[in-house]
Chains A and B, each alone.
Chain A
Amino acid sequence: MKRKITLSPASFVPGPQGPRALVQSVDYCTRCNACVQSCPSYLLQREEAFSPRGRNQIVRLLLERKIKVSDNPDLIKQTTAACLLCAQCTTACAGALPMPDHMLALRRAINLQTLPKTLRLFLRLHAVWPSGFEMLVRTGYVFRRLGLLWLLRVSGLLNLFGFAWLKHANAILPKRPSTLKKLFKKQKICLSPQEAQVVYLPSFEASYITPQTALQTWRLLQPKKTFVLTEQSTGLFEYLYGDKTLALIQLKNLLTRWEKLSPRKKLPLITDSIELYGFLKHSPVLFATLKGWQKRAQALAEHVQFVSDLRFAKPANVKRCALDSSTVLYPAGEAAVRARKIFKTHFGKNFVECEYSHYAIAAAGLAFVPQTRAEEMVLENVKDVARRQLQEVYCLSGLAALELNAALRRHYPQAQAKHMVFLQDEP
């Protein structure tokens, strides 16, 4: 790697008492190694370089100029790519260090792109032209139903044009994927911002893959008048996939749109994505140098809620279940605690608490890691589900539910993974 590293020591990351400069944050690691057993990628490799402590030390030593990227570019690339950004290490860390943010800073510095170019372009399209993106997705689903995708896969043409990622996408997709707009139209749900009492921000997967999640959330929000923010890019994916500037632009757009909905009284913003919830909660950190925007982001962070804040009725069938609270970047924190309470109340002894070793793996983060490694990690989850003889795994993230469900379908069909909103029985 000939490129010179530009790891900015002054870039801000979240700290326990507010934003902190990167150089300061990495120094706060006491090297106690409390994080190590929480890292799914370390548990596969068992080498210091692949542990959260090791990764943090890489950033620190690079900033201190004690090592150079050129000393072992492959190792640095591998270990940075192997980080799922799942923030399990942050939860385990005594000082709650934002190690995923350190990794993001390093990724940007070494210009690490683990996502295929075509997938990046696909996601960029979503950011700049959402309705065009939806059209493309719906066309894709029609192609899939006609068997064209299967034909392309079998003929090997997918690999030829850089669409190999579609294979995995196809594997995790449900049988009949649809889009939120289409489903809401079918259900005759009118989306009007007038007199809205609450704003619902659906996740990417609820918008374009499993609209049932959005519909279920919408039902949970009734009888409140709910406005659904469709075709709204949030900046989460751009932030994760590298272009921070674009991420900030999208976040600003979201902020402006939310503020415009009710200029006088700020409306609560509910989301079904734990990743998005964490991202919006911590959005003020991203505007650490822009005070005006930081204040506005602060207001949004105060009003953002996760579906675990809603009321759930006891389900008719109580099965042996567990809760997967995996997310990216920021530990689920209070949202996960509230979710756990709900499960404990409704499931009692059938709710399996996962202490110490757990199977939380951030599905959004899995896209970063090489496919073979990602498969191994998900397989560890499946083993854990089988070991505990679970029948259902509820996820706080729709993406995690999709990933885990696909693996369960293949290896342990006795159990299935669902989003938390499906705890409430569907009418």
Chain B
Amino acid sequence: MQLAPHILKQLKHLLGAHNVQTDPVSLALNGYDCSQSRFRPDAVVTVNNPSLLEPLVCLLAREKIPFIARAAATNHAGSCSAVKGGVVINLNPLCQIYTIDTAHGFAEAAPCTVTGDLQQALAPLGFFYAPDPASEKVSTLSGNLAQNASGARCLKYGNTCDNTLSIEFITPQGQTFTFRHDAPGPDWLGLTAGSEGTLGLIKRMRVKILPAPKHVKTFLATFPSLAASVQTVSDLVARGLIPRCVEAMDQITTRAVEEFAHAGYPTDAQALLIIELDGDLKQIKQDAQTLEELCKARGCQTFTAAKTEAEREKLWSGRRAAYSAMAALAPNVAVGDGTVPRSQLPAALAKVRTIIDQNGVTASLLFHAGDGNFHPQIVFDARQPEQTRRVNKTLHEILKACVDCGGTVSGEHGIGVEKRSVMAYQYSRQTLRLFTQIKQAFDPFNLANPGKIIPVGFEDKSSLYQETDPAVCRLAQEIKTRFEQKEKTAVVGTNSQWKTLCAQTLSTKDLNQILDIDKTNYMAVAQAGVRVKDLLNALAQQGVYAQLPPDYPGTLGGLIASKAWPAFTAQLTGVQAIMPSGDIVNYGGKLMKNAAGYNLCRLFAGSVGALGMITKVFFKIYATPQALPKQPAKAQLFFRPDPLFTAVKRTVDPQLLFLSPAFEEGRL
């Protein structure tokens, strides 16, 4: 659809005539990314000045024209293709690094600053930016955040969202907000991370920078089985030894890579691990010894350390050449991105190999063993429809296998248009409904990157979630009854700091079980009504630790919902909640990475019970005591909700049945 002449005139007036293109060549060149999807937009505009972003978005919102923010367009999911036409906003000229503050450990940059450029600017100062997606030399900071692409170092340093301190964000209506993790209310920064530009545009970013480790040492270990290699990683974590990164390959991939890159990998082993340690030399020596012991205990066949920088480079050259080895074989490479709990990795990989063999496709299998994220790379020729169909089927089957293993369909590549259909397999109808509501609250006219993430017609394709826990079922039923009778409710914990005026309260006191302390994946699952003190005691008995305040008197649910300990939000990997309508929604699990859908953990954290009742949470645990923030835990209950919180509240709970201190007893 062509844009109306008066709109084009306004766009040209705002951005300059040469920055607005509507010719078929420009449209075709801005209609693709690294995926198979190709959709032509109606116009392409280039923004050279960040201050023009607000007026541009306001103009597009006024005229109800969809828009798609485009950075380096390196994603593998079709996240920046114009499915419903509209205007592609080329943000690439906004690539300036504004500030690097080593004293306070942050850097400020324009959204399309190339991640590699930032790394290069930080290196001479002795600092580095932790996220390192494989495409860091070309991908951008905002693109990485929009997909929550974190790379191999995420095991030790956290994902891109955790390494972003604040962002300036423009909503689809053209309003600018500054998001921080520790601000009262839901963690909007966390919610927008991985939202693939469907909730708005990033205008400016402040990211965390860390002092570069003085020494880095790389090791290569080979194993007789995949299970042994994965178990070694769990053993490492259990010893409190978190490597800088752990990369792995199966035998078929190792052989393909070795043939292409001659990196010196042994090709007779079933699995291969590249482990990298960083820190000071003494520590590395100690850790290397432990690492060797652990590897040998799991039957490792060879264990070699890179002695020189050249040897280290050679070890990595093979891993880096894995994509090239595949790209040289056929015109197209489809890259999958499933993530499963670490303990499920051997089972999931066996399933994936079976699927690949059954469908008769050629694929390599790489995985970040530390976080359970694996990337099957399937080569094919897109000019042959039958082959393309077979590859798509294989990818879908692989993603479904991931979900069956308790995983997610995307760890860091996002959903875009290509994985939308499997979202209906991973998430229940209730959860997908909540995703839709979030999108609607942020973007009522569906203008920001429409047609992404949420599957089309999910009401028919997805299944309804059935809860088995009687206490949760009882609570859900009670909330549903109150919803039908339009009765107001206030969610409280066992030791609520909020004295509500509401006659009817719902307490999480029955949800007081610690469901799992998993020392393979280093994850714990607990119900919301568990007291933090009890939880810490139970963890201590098992010899594990969590980043929880030791003296907090309330419940786990209360701690999260009131954002009393903002640092704990980053520890959450999954959540279950009951919505004001009585629907039970589930998100995440024992997963280190999850880029499928909106991050509901970040939505409910700090929502002070206004959006739903948290019933269960998944969080990270550690083998060693963790450094805790110095500030005492303090509930953030009474604050003026920002327009976004109000909008989400209105969409999720239109009758304002869930009362909360942030909404002054339900009055908006």
Contacts and interface: CB of A to CB of B under 8 A. Distances in A.
Interface in B76-97: 90, 92-93, 95
A128 interface: no
25 contacts: A27-B331, A32-B327, A33-B72, A33-B73, A34-B137, A37-B114, A37-B116, A37-B137, A47-B46, A47-B90, A48-B30, A49-B25, A49-B29, A54-B29, A57-B28, A58-B29, A68-B24, A71-B25, A72-B26, A75-B25, A75-B26, A94-B324, A94-B327, A94-B328, A95-B328
B25 A32 contact: no
B327 A48 contact: no
B383 A27 contact: yes
A49 B26 contact: yes
A61 B323 CA distance: 25
A68 B114 CA distance: 33
Interface string B324-366: 1001101111000000000000000000000000000000000
Contacts of B382: 27
A357 interface: yes
A30 B331 contact: yes
Nearest to B70: A48
Contacts of A143: none
A49 B327 CA distance: 23
B138 A33 contact: yes
B155 to A, nearest CB: 24
B542 interface: no
B72 A36 contact: yes
Interface in A340-366: 356-357
Interface residues of B, number: 36
Nearest to B76: A32
Interface in A55-71: 57-58, 61, 66-68, 71
Nearest to B116: A356
Interface string B112-123: 001011001000
A96 B327 CA distance: 9
B120 A72 contact: no
Interface of A: 16, 24, 27-34, 36-37, 46-49, 54, 57-58, 61, 66-68, 71-72, 75-76, 94-96, 356-357
Contacts of A28: 327, 330-331
B374 interface: no
A42 B33 CA distance: 17
Contacts of A57: 28-29, 32
Contact of B73 (A30, A34, A48, A96): A48
Contacts of B633: none
B436 interface: no
B23 interface: yes
Nearest to A49: B29
Contacts of B23: 71-72, 75
B34 interface: yes
B383 A31 contact: no
Contacts of A16: 328
A61 B32 CA distance: 12
B28 A61 contact: yes
Which one of B74, B327, B382 has the highest number of Cβ atoms from chain A below 10 Å of its Cβ?
B327
Nearest to B260: A16
B317 interface: no
Contacts of B323: 32, 94
Given A49-B29, A356-B137, 14 more contacts: A30-B331, A31-B32, A32-B323, A33-B138, A37-B114, A37-B137, A37-B138, A46-B46, A48-B73, A54-B29, A67-B24, A94-B323, A94-B324, A94-B327
Interface string B1-39: 000000000000000000000011110111011100000
Which one of A32, A95, A96 has the highest number of Cβ atoms from chain B below 10 Å of its Cβ?
A32
B607 to A, nearest CB: 38
B135 interface: yes
A34 B136 CA distance: 9
Given A75-B25, A357-B117, A32 B135 contact: yes
Nearest to A357: B120
Nearest to A28: B331
Contact of A95 (B24, B25, B324): B324
Interface string B377-408: 00001110000000000000000000000000
A58 B32 CA distance: 12
Nearest to A48: B29
Contacts of B46: 46-47
A36 B114 CA distance: 11
Contact of B92 (A29, A47, A75): A47
B34 to A, nearest CB: 5
Nearest to A30: B333
A369 to B, nearest CB: 18
A46 B29 contact: no
Contacts of B32: 31, 57
Which one of B95, B135, B324 has the highest number of Cβ atoms from chain A below 10 Å of its Cβ?
B324
A67 B25 contact: yes
A58 B25 contact: yes
B381 to A, nearest CB: 8
Nearest to B326: A94
A171 B114 CA distance: 35
A31 B33 contact: yes
Which one of A29, A34, A49, A71 has the highest number of Cβ atoms from chain B below 10 Å of its Cβ?
A34
Ordered nearest first, which 8 A-B pairs have the shortest CB separation? A94-B327, A72-B23, A94-B324, A95-B327, A46-B92, A71-B24, A72-B25, A27-B331
B84 to A, nearest CB: 20
A76 B21 CA distance: 13
A94 B260 CA distance: 12
B447 to A, nearest CB: 22
A76 B29 CA distance: 11
A46 B120 CA distance: 19
A274 B25 CA distance: 35
Contact of A48 (B90, B120, B135): B90
B34 A31 contact: yes
A356 B328 contact: no
Contacts of A37: 114, 116, 137-138
A54 B381 CA distance: 20
Given A32-B74, A34-B138, A36-B72, A46 B328 contact: no
Nearest to A24: B331
A353 to B, nearest CB: 11
A425 to B, nearest CB: 29
A68 B138 CA distance: 29
A94 B333 CA distance: 11
B327 A46 contact: no
A36 B327 contact: no
A116 to B, nearest CB: 26
A36 B23 CA distance: 22
Which one of B30, B95, B137 has the highest number of Cβ atoms from chain A below 10 Å of its Cβ?
B137
Interface string B92-128: 1101000000000000000000101100100000000
B383 A46 contact: no
Contacts of A27: 331, 381-383
A72 B24 CA distance: 7
Contacts of B24: 67-68, 71-72
Nearest to A16: B328
Given A49-B26, A67-B24, A36 B138 contact: yes
B524 to A, nearest CB: 38
Contacts of A67: 24-25, 28
A113 to B, nearest CB: 21
